[in-house]
Amino acid sequence: MSTTLNRVKRRLRNGNLPDSRAVARQIARAYYRGDRPYNTDGTNVFDEDWDNLLILDACRYDAFAEEADLPGTLESRTSRGSMTREWVRGNFSDRKLYDTVYVTGNGNFDYVRDKIGADIHAEVPLWRDEHRTGAGKSITPPETVAEATLRCAEEYPTKRIVGHFVQPHTPYLGPTGERFDPRVPLKDIPRRYDVSVGEIARAYRENLSLVLEEVETLVAELPGKTVVTADHGELLGDRLRPVPVRDYGHPDGIYMDELVTVPWHVSINGDRKDIVSERPETATEVDVDEVKAHLRDLGYAT
């Protein structure tokens, strides 16, 4: 904590005046994460028992519990990160997941995979431009991820399938949030558009409802044991701790319940899969500029 406070003091002396939220985030990171690379108290999802894992990006446990109506049982888990890149590091680092196919609309895995010693059997990178729509081609629609996840389940019947949706993460697609520029990060929307906490929460819930429609279909059609979870939660005007400044989004290294308590919804459809680990297919070639542009559209620093 003292190191963080000294850093803030130096910035003030140098005339670099951070806003109250930036200072509160720095203090919260020191309070929650300290020197850890990710939330080591969280669950590694690949150590859990499932055949299919559906990840909703930035999905709060409380919102999921109220909005989702899926067959099966709802539990919770603690995420290894409060933002996707941190979650990737906490789950994929130094893992050879040769029994796993990763379908994803979020490019954070490709951004860091070579740095963290991660490998998988195959990937379907739906974050690429040709799969995105909307202003600035900033959105991978939930139906695109759902369709690709089903195709992979058929193409790779002996593999664990991970389907990583973008929603309920911004950009918001529903009637409340569609007036917001999809390239504006959530943390900047309240000031830019002068909207209330309630309006932000409504836009978020609408985005969650849209992706849950696709998830409901997948749960009914995917064979074996399917788990629906999230990489992290979301701040929707909640106050940071220990400095109670109101915040939005999902800053890294802040392990509040709103950010790291995630749903873990379990359902079983027919017989379990016979999972086989095999040598990986050729890794996807990553255009660094393309993945950086995509991540900036989602509000991530690169």
| Closest by CA position to 275, among listed 111, 97, 128 | 97
Say if residue 103 is in the same domain as residue 215: yes
Q: By the 8 A CB rule, do 66 and 281 touch?
A: no
**What's the structural domain count of the chain?**
2
22 with 110, same domain: the answer is no
Same domain for 2 and 94: no
Same domain, 48 and 128: yes
Q: Which residues contact 263 (CB under 8 A, 6 or more apart)?
A: 56, 59, 61, 64, 65, 68, 74, 75, 76, 77, 228, 229, 230
- pTM here? 0.91
- Could you give the CA distance from residue 215 to residue 228 in angstroms, rounded to a whole number? 8
Q: Residue 32, Cα to own-chain centre: how many angstroms? A: 19
- Give the type of residue at 180: F
Residue 97 and residue 22 share a domain = no
Residues 54 and 23 in one domain: no
Q: What is the residue range of 59's domain?
A: 38-297
9, 86: one domain: no
Q: Does residue 302 form part of some domain?
A: no
Residue 134 belongs to a domain: yes
pLDDT in 10s for each residue of the chain, 302 residues: 555 555 654 554 444 445 788 999 999 999 999 999 999 999 999 999 999 999 999 999 999 999 999 999 999 999 999 999 999 999 999 999 999 999 999 999 999 999 999 999 999 999 887 787 765 567 899 999 999 999 999 999 999 999 999 999 999 999 999 999 888 889 999 989 999 999 999 999 999 999 999 999 999 999 999 999 999 999 999 999 999 999 999 999 999 999 999 999 999 999 999 999 998 876 667 777 777 777 777 777 76
